[in-house]
Amino acid sequence: MPAAVADDGELRSEQHELTRLLLADLHRELDGRGGDAWARAWELAGTVDRHPGTLDGVLTHPYTRGWLLGSLDALREGGAGAAPLPAARLASTVAAAAVRGGLDLAVPVPYEGGTLLLPTLGELRFSGVEPSGTAEVRPVEKGLLVRAGGSETRIPRPDEPGACWRPVRRLGRDGAPDLAIDDLDPYRDCFGVPVPPRLGHDEAAAWTDRLACAWGLLRARAPEQAAAAAASLTTLTPSTARGPRSGGTESALWASLCGPVPRSWRRCCCAAGAGRACGPCWRSPTCTRTTAGGRIRRRGRSRRSRCPSCWRGRTNAPGCAPSTRTGRRPP
């Protein structure tokens, strides 16, 4: 039995390795077509990655895989304008990692629509500047400083809302894990169901209550699964969809719990109001080698038998030693 199947830590390691390989594959697929913006973001990614764990904290965000796969598909399908698009997301990922790590590093980040999103942190809405351009993000003390169009915006604490800043909120309470409730990331619609816009304060508070109640039930009835899930799940993604308890209406609010699904919890649903435990890293959204039950069919140990949608990488991610990133079996 592969170690990733039997050990939750090994599973997380393998899934993260797969994400890094997909990033390296995107770099190779661009082959210079990403322009100066991608080259600059890639170089800065290598700089940040020299600080152990700093870049990984954002690369493990559950929507990273959807961005990478979508970008690769667009490039291979030859979509018009597909090549420049990945640079903005990589730059924002590097900037978020630099802020989280408190690095003395200025990161240029392209933005559109007058908003700048930093994955895992939040969204800044500009005023008085051009609706599209490039902003410079730099960590300062416990927050960040953003320069764009000759103006400066200082965000002293990224976890607190401000006049132009909308943070990614946290849900932990009454023994429930401290999950992020991400209702900002544009790639959060990767679960095949529609997602609502930013939740109001009362709606977010209601999810805190639902999670606390559901987690109390899970700990009481399945403590081992609760402990394993708390160590693996990171993010709750609200979505609007029909569910078994919605009575056929579109108003029922569902949520996906995101993160590497622990071994003891892979077939378990968490009823947070009405919710489902999702491990987007467990299999690729485009993987066709699945059974009706969602299990990956393994056809042997050869590299050629691996699902091409899930195991594309053949080169090393920035700052990654070849000796530690080759010859490993995907999750």
In this prediction, residues 142-169 reach a mean pLDDT of 94
Q: Which residue has better confidence, 80 or 224? A: 224
Task: Quickly state the pLDDT bin for 279 (edges 50, 70, 90).
Answer: very low
Say whether pLDDT at 311 is over 50: no
Say whether pLDDT at 255 is over 70: no
Contact between 279 and 260 (Cβ < 8 Å) = yes
Pairing status of strand 180-181 against strand 235-240: parallel
Paired tokens of 183: 């209702």
Which pTM value belongs to this model? 0.74
Amino acid at 242: R
- Distance, first Cα to last Cα, the chain: 12
pLDDT digits (tens, 9 = 90+) for 43-80: 999 999 999 999 999 999 989 998 999 999 999 988 76
Task: Quickly state the pLDDT bin for 289 (edges 50, 70, 90).
Answer: very low
Pairing status of strand 107-111 against strand 115-118: unpaired
pLDDT value of position 190: 79
Say whether pLDDT at 240 is over 90: no
Question: Which residues, 6 or more positions from 331, have their beta carbon under 8 angstroms from its beta carbon?
Answer: 4, 11, 14, 15, 18, 281, 282
